[in-house]
Each structure stands twice: as structure tokens, then as C-alpha cells.
Amino acid sequence: MTEHGVRGLDVGEPAPAAPDDLPLVDPRRRMSGRPGSSPVLATAYDEVCERVADEALMQISEPGAPRVPFPVRPVVSVLHPRAEPELRRRVQSVVGSLEKLVRAYPDDPELQDFLAVPETLHRWIMRGQAAGRLGIDYCRLDLLGATLGTARVLEFNPSSPGGVISTGMLNRFWRESSLAPVLAAWAPAPAPFEGEHWFADWLLGFGRSRGVPDDGRPIGLFHASKSTKFELDLVARQLAARGRETVFIRADDADAARDVRLGYFKFIPMELDEVPGWDRFCARLLDGTIAAPNPLGARWVAENKLCLAALSDPRFRRLFDPAEIAHLDALVPYGRKLGDGIDAAEVLRRRDELVLKAPYSFHGRDVHLGAECDPDAWERIVTAHRGWLVQERVQAGAVDADDGTYLHDLVAPVLDGRVIGYSARMSAGPVLNGARGGGAYAIFGPHPLGNAVPSPLR
């Protein structure tokens, strides 16, 4: 355990903080495909699109929806070399604080009452504590903001690796295109998530660390009955390249998992009616006869968007040390639980500056921006959703593409306590999500993403 309680994080010697007015993206190292802007970029873009088609890289979609190619856009940029180290430091620290929430949950009645995790999930979290299986192995952070000082984390996702695998592939395609000489000068060190087999290698290493024998048994890719298997298709592809067989298994099909000792479980708590049928599967996750990253407590606590309110609410600052609180203040936006931390009258009064989100949701569902609602609609939404997350609205950064200007976010996946890459999603509308189209744009880190975080002044 190292600083801030994050595994694998070495922040090195204390360094002067980077100025908060630094842009996240280096304006000197950005290229966009506006008409006539760059013949080299245009050629490279065509090459990347060919790779997307050849590799059958598909867009995230709703279950049952038609599959379409991953929507790459002709935009490439590099994070600011002084802003990125401090951003990374904050991101890794905040994941450590989120892990503290996960570990505090079983012994903290106030936190349990605040998060209001459904009972069908709560019971497995409590059993996970007894099994010593509470922690965060993998988590994706979705951020908005244009500068270091305005960057805020809007969401944690400890379940779904597909978008991260896809954007890592996309960055690799750009590096192997005609743009390679430019990127070699701008961002010389490939990020870990750009590797061809990074997720498979990590999962296999996770199994070895849990005593799973390398005996060639199939690796289970577990999912709910209504879940999209997009993420798991990409995991299976990487494992196959490492010579490992995979089997897709519904979490309620315990017999199909009889011989499985290692797996990955993809589930966002939306269809809770299925969970009571998973008793045998969940029990095996807890007793260790199936080794799978991100135990149930990590998923079902960290996936709850009210964690963002808990990380912001003064009542729970008792869980964190001063350094952690400083990073929370810097990166976590104002958030409260509707009816328990902020009343409806205040939410109605501050309509233009607030957003309302369901505790468990995905693909941008159940997200209501007050500024996009008329007063009557906002009142109906607020009245109907006591217990939801109330969050300050954060202004997204903007980027020029080939067909206009788009809003974009910044995605930072964290694996075993360290950032492994960066990516961005674009949208013409105010809600940014990979399943809503708009496209992806490649963002590269200016420094190697090893364990040590460099000084922001380098």
C-alpha cells in the first residue's frame, strides 16, 4: 500500500503543482481534419479507417441494436505536458478514495444508508467483506473540462472494459499510420492500453496471483442475460491471441461454469430481477473458486453514482486524509443526494447549473440537465426522483473536426492503481457517451505511464 492507499502508485517526490489554468490539451500538438488542413492527417485517417474495418472494431451499442464500425474521427491531440502529470496524480488519488468508500461500506451504517444499495446487491457486498474481497482492480473515469482547474470526474465505471480496449486499439492504429513520425515526436511512449494483448495479459496475471493453475481450462466471460457482449468479444479476441479458450456464460448458468477457475464479469446493476438467480455464481466469486477482478463490492458500490455525492459531501470527509481531500476538492464536482444533502427547492432554484442522475444507469440514460429542461419539466423530474444524484453541470471542452465543432470528454482508465492511457468521446449534444455516436478522437499522453508520476514542471 502506497500513498493514498492506491496499489501500484508511486507519486515520487513532492512536486510543485501545475497551474490550474493550463489547458488539458496542448494547443501546439493537435491536428484536426478540417477541410484542407492537413494532407498527412487525411491520408492517416483513411489508413486508420481501413484498420478499423479490417479488425472489425465495432461501436458500442444497445443490446439487439445493429452493429456499425467504430466511429473514429480525424482528430488527434496530446495532453499538455505540464497539466497531464498533475491530472494523473489527481485521478489516481481519487480512485484510491473511491476504494476507501468501498472498503468502508460494510462497517459504516451512515454510508450504507446514504448509498441505498438495493438489498439483492447489498447482501453480497457484506459477504464479500467477510471473504476479504473488497477493492478496485480496474476503473474507468469519465471527465469533463477544458483546463486542469476545470477538469471534473462525472462518472466511475468499474465494469465495462470494451470502450477502453477499443480506444487503445485506435491509438495504436494512429501510431502505425502515416502519422507515425509526428506522434513519435509528440508522444514517444505508447500507453499500456495501446498494447495488443494488455487486457488478456493483465487478466491472466490476475489469475496467477490468485493461485489459478495455468492448466488450459477455458476462461469464463460472464454476463447478464440482457447484456451486450461487445466488451467481452474484445476480451475473447485478446485471450485467443494468447492461445486461451474462452466461454461466454450467463451468470445464472452455474453448471456451464463448473470447470471455470478464471473469468471476467461484465454487469451494470440495471436489471436486478436476475440477481437472485446468481447465488451459486456469486458464492464462487467470493470463495475464490472463480477468480475475477473487481469483486462484487467494488462493482456495486463504486458503480453507484451516489459515490460521487459521498466524495463531495462534508459528512464523509472523515474517511479521507488531508492530501486525499485536496485531490477530491480538485477533481470531484459538487454533488449531493436529492432529499439527503440538498432539498428539492434548492434543486429547482438552481436548475441551470445542476444535473440529475439515477444511481445506477449507463449509456447516458437517466441523465437530466436542468438547463435543457423547461421549469415545469424540471419540477416533474425532481419531484419524481428523490434519492438521485444532484451534480453541478461541468462545461465540456470543444474540438474542431472535419464537419464542425464538437464537445468532448476525457476518459482515463485506471488499472491496479495507475492510469494506463487516455481517450475522448465526441458529441454534438450535451450528453457524451460512446453508445450515442458522435465519434472517438485520439488523445495521447506526453509522458510514459509507468508507476512514477513526473513533475508537472518537466
Domain count, the chain: 2
267, pLDDT greater than 90 = no
Q: Is residue 159 part of a domain?
A: yes
What tens digit of pLDDT does each residue of 113-130 get? 999 999 999 998 988 776
Verify that 200 and 318 share a domain, yes or no: yes
Q: pLDDT value at position 458?
A: 33
**Residue 317 DSSP SS3:** helix
Q: Which of 286-290, 369-373, 452-456 has the lowest mean pLDDT?
A: 452-456
- Residue 14 above 80 pLDDT? no
Q: Which of 140, 138, 143, 198 is nearest to 169 (CA)?
A: 198
371-414: pLDDT as tens digits: 999 999 999 999 999 999 999 999 999 888 888 888 999 999 99
Helix, coil or strand: residue 220: strand
217: alpha, beta or left? (left if phi > 0; alpha if psi -120 to 50): beta
* Rounded-to-5 percentages of helix, strand, coil across the chain: 40, 20, 40
Confidence of residue 306 (pLDDT cuts 50, 70, 90): very high
Distance CA 258, CA 245 (A): 15
Overall average pLDDT of the 143-168 stretch: 95
The C-alpha cell of 431 is what?
A: 450528453
Question: Are residues 250 and 343 located together in one domain of the fold?
Answer: no
Per-residue pLDDT at 3 exceeds 60: no
Is 452 part of a structural domain of the chain?
Answer: no
Cα–Cα distance for residue pair 69/226, rounded to 1 Å: 22
Per residue in 40-63, pLDDT (tens digit) is 999 999 999 999 999 989 876 555
Residues 308 and 358 in one domain: no
- C-alpha grid cell, residue 123: 447482501
Q: What is the pLDDT of residue 8?
A: 39
Residue 14 lies in a domain: yes
Query: Is the residue at 130 inside a domain?
Result: yes
Clarify whether residues 170 and 244 are in a common domain. Answer: yes
Q: Could you list the residue range(s) of the whole structural domain that residue 136 is in?
A: 3-327+394-444
Which tops the pLDDT comparison, 342 or 18? 342
Mean pLDDT of the chain, nearest integer: 89
Kindly tell me if the per-residue pLDDT of 106 is higher than 80. Answer: yes
**Same domain flag for 140 and 120:** yes
**Residue 458 forms part of a structural domain:** no
Q: What percent of the chain has pLDDT over 70?
A: 88
Last residue of a domain, one of 392, 418, 436: 392
- pLDDT bin (cut points 50, 70, 90) of residue 431 is low
Q: Judge if 317 and 350 occupy the same domain.
A: no
Contact call for residues 49 and 84 (beta carbons, < 8 A): no
pLDDT at 363: 61
Is pLDDT of 20 > 80?
Answer: yes
Residue 453 located in a structural domain: no
Whether pLDDT at 19 is above 70: yes
Q: For residue 37, is pLDDT > 90?
A: no
List the single range of 207-211, 286-290, 298-302, 442-446 with lowest mean pLDDT. 298-302
Q: Are 425 and 97 in contact (CB under 8 A)?
A: no
Residue 195 reports pLDDT greater than 80: yes
pLDDT at 434 over 60: no
Same domain? 62 vs 155: yes
- 455 within domain boundaries: no
Q: In sequence order, what are the residues at sequence separation of 6 or more whose Cβ sits closer than 8 angstroms to the Cβ of residue 350?
A: 370
Least confident of 83-92, 236-245, 249-258: 249-258
Which of 392, 408, 428 is the last residue before a domain boundary? 392
Out of 377, 392, 407, a domain closes at 392
Q: Do 376 and 402 share a domain, yes or no?
A: no
Cβ neighbours, 10 Å, residue 352: 12
Q: Can you give the pLDDT at residue 45?
A: 94
What does the pLDDT average to over 348-356? 97
pLDDT of residue 26: 97
Indicate whether 313 pLDDT > 80. yes
On whether both 278 and 367 belong to a single domain, the answer is no
Confidence of residue 65 (pLDDT cuts 50, 70, 90): low
Residues constituting the chain: 458
pTM here is 0.91
- Where does 262-387 have alpha helices with state H? 279-287, 296-302, 306-312, 322-331, 344-349, 375-384
**What letter does residue 24 receive in the DSSP assignment?**
S
User: Is 279 domain-assigned?
Assistant: yes
- Tell me how many degrees the CA angle 61-65-69 measures, rounded to the nearest 5: 55
Claim to verify: residue 173 and residue 127 sit in the same structural domain: yes
Give the per-residue pLDDT at 231. Answer: 77
Q: Are residues 175 and 49 in the same domain?
A: yes
pLDDT attached to residue 61: 59
Nearest to 317 by CA among 306, 304, 329, 305: 329
The rounded distance, in Å, linking the Cα atoms of 155 and 6 is 19
165 and 308 assigned to the same domain: yes
pLDDT attached to residue 429: 67
What pLDDT is stored for residue 69 in this prediction? 84
